[in-house]
């Protein structure tokens, strides 16, 4: 009788075990590095992707942005190239407090707005806002989602570029930030105010030491406490513009709902404080818009090409994540109406009348998207950036619409 193969085959040496296919990501091949020296000029896309080594990012981006600058009408908010460079230069130190808001037209995630806040000499913590920043104190969709992303290099704050792979980035606003004290039991805490007799130089870079503490130190402390009251001193955003970023305790980035349900439209909540208590366990006082939540349930991760080390450290090469940032956490953001200069009257939030008769607060604004809003530095639209960088055939994801009320 013939023996079965399992008994007759040679057993020495043993067969090599079959390797299972795993989801492990192999180490990427090192990227070719190009040095930027006199007489050479790497593309913006190469610089953004980290394939080009730049010794002086400010000089490089200043040169490119100046060449791309457009003339615009007086109604378009603008920051001169010289002031843009000065703003960044004055914050190139360990206590810098620079911010940038990029309008990002990404092929997969679609149009969104990236807020980056400098917290050290080299690094910025970052969030993606699917619907932009809130600008109407009486909006029925005052609450928004903000998705925490990777720690970026400080020089990323200078980028305005486009590529077929990553879409277009333009500088929607830039300036410096202040971190205000946290509210206690819904009451406004005393906070430093920007007064009319402060020079622009004080607001945009030279003085980051307030109340004996640096703004970036306050940011680090507030971020770790999962509650940041943030005042942005920008070019496009109005004076005293203040938002609150809060990480809810039930935040879970590992799970996604099995089904997507459209919730009924939230109704306005007249004269209710942005937060009714200082506790992180309290529910958001303003509901999150259904459209905003639906966008969050989509994959808003624009960093799909990062290497293994970037994923482990949650920071791009050259930056340091010593602030405790975690990729894709879902924060809640709301316009801080009281700190922005509004008060409640007859069931509506209105601009507060100051003792000298002037009005605080600002006229409501709406973030209108890529087809309408221009860079505060170059005056370009997103399609202008794409055209300038040779991406005329780029088609971004559609479906983005502004929150009108």
Residue 119 within a domain: yes
Confirm if 308 and 27 have CB atoms less than 8 A apart: yes
* Nearest CA-CA partner of 100 in 193, 177, 209: 177
Kindly provide the residue ranges of all beta strands, DSSP E only, lying in 149-248, ordered along the sequence.
152-153, 161-163, 167-180, 209-210, 213-214, 227-233, 242-246
The structural domain count of the chain equals: 1
Residue 38 within a domain: no
Helix axes 57-68, 81-89, angle to 10 degrees: 160
Residue 311 within a domain: yes
Distance of CA 240 to the CA centre of its chain: 19
How do residues 342-368 score in pLDDT, each as one tens digit?
Answer: 999 999 999 999 999 999 999 999 999
Residue 58 within a domain: no
Q: What is the extent of the structural domain holding 216?
A: 77-254+270-388
Per-position b or e across 191-217, b if 16+ CB within 10 A of its CB? beeeeeeeeeeebbbeebeeeeebbbb
Q: Are strands 52-53 and 34-35 parallel, antiparallel or unpaired?
A: parallel
* pLDDT at residue 190 greater than cutoff 50: no
Give residue 204's pLDDT band: very low, low, confident or very high (50, 70, 90). very low
* Nearest CA-CA partner of 339 in 140, 180, 134, 141: 180
Residue 2 within a domain: no
- What's the mean pLDDT in 183-197? 48
DSSP secondary structure letters along 317-349? TT----S---TT-EEEEEE-TTTTTEEEETTEE
Residue 15 within a domain: no
Residue 344 within a domain: yes
Mean pLDDT is lowest, of 229-238, 242-251, 262-271, 314-323, for 262-271
Confirm if 180 and 274 have CB atoms less than 8 A apart: no
- 31 versus 53: which is more confidently predicted? 53
**Cα gap 236→118, rounded to integer Å:** 19
Chain mean pLDDT for the chain: 80
**Cα gap 211→229, rounded to integer Å:** 16
- 25 versus 365: which is more confidently predicted? 365
Q: What share of the chain in percent tops pLDDT 70?
A: 70
Give residue 400's pLDDT band: very low, low, confident or very high (50, 70, 90). confident
Residue 199 within a domain: yes
Write down the residue that tokens 């870079």 correspond to: 205
């Amino acid at each position: 009788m013939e023996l079965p193969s399992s008994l007759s085959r040679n057993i020495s040496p043993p067969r090599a075990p079959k390797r299972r296919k795993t989801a492990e990501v192999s180490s990427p091949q090192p990227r070719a590095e190009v040095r930027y020296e006199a007489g050479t000029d790497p593309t913006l896309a190469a610089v953004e992707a980290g394939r080009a080594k730049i010794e002086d990012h400010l000089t490089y981006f200043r040169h490119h942005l100046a060449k791309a600058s457009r003339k615009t009408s007086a109604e378009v908010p603008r920051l001169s190239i010289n002031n843009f460079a000065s703003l960044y230069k004055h914050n190139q130190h360990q206590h810098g407090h620079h911010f940038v808001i990029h309008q990002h037209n990404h092929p997969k995630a679609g149009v969104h707005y990236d807020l980056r806040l400098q917290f050290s000499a080299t690094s910025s913590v970052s969030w993606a806002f699917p619907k932009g920043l809130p600008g109407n104190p009486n909006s029925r969709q005052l609450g928004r989602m903000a998705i925490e992303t990777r720690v970026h290099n400080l020089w990323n704050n200078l980028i305005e570029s486009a590529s077929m792979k990553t879409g277009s980035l333009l500088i929607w606003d830039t300036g410096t930030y202040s971190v205000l004290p946290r509210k206690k039991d819904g009451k406004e805490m005393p906070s430093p105010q920007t007064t009319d007799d402060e020079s622009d130089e004080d607001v945009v870079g030279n003085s980051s030491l307030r109340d004996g503490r640096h703004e970036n130190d306050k940011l680090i402390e507030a971020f770790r406490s999962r509650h940041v009251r943030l005042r942005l001193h920008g070019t496009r955003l109005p004076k005293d513009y203040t938002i609150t970023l809060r990480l809810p305790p039930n935040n879970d980035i590992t799970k996604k709902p099995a089904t997507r349900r459209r919730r009924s439209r939230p109704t306005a909540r007249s004269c209710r404080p942005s937060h009714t208590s200082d506790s992180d366990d309290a529910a958001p006082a303003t509901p999150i818009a259904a459209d905003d939540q639906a966008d969050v349930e989509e994959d808003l991760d624009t960093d799909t090409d990062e290497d293994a080390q970037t994923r482990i450290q949650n920071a791009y090469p050259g930056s340091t994540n010593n602030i405790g940032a975690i990729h894709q956490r879902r924060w809640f953001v709301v316009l801080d109406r009281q700190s922005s200069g509004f008060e409640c009257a007859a069931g509506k939030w209105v601009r507060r009348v100051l003792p000298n008769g002037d009005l605080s607060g600002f006229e409501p604004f709406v973030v209108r998207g890529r087809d309408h809003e221009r860079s505060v530095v170059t005056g370009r639209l997103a399609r202008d950036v794409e055209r300038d960088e040779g991406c005329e055939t780029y088609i971004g994801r559609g479906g983005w619409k502004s929150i009108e009320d």
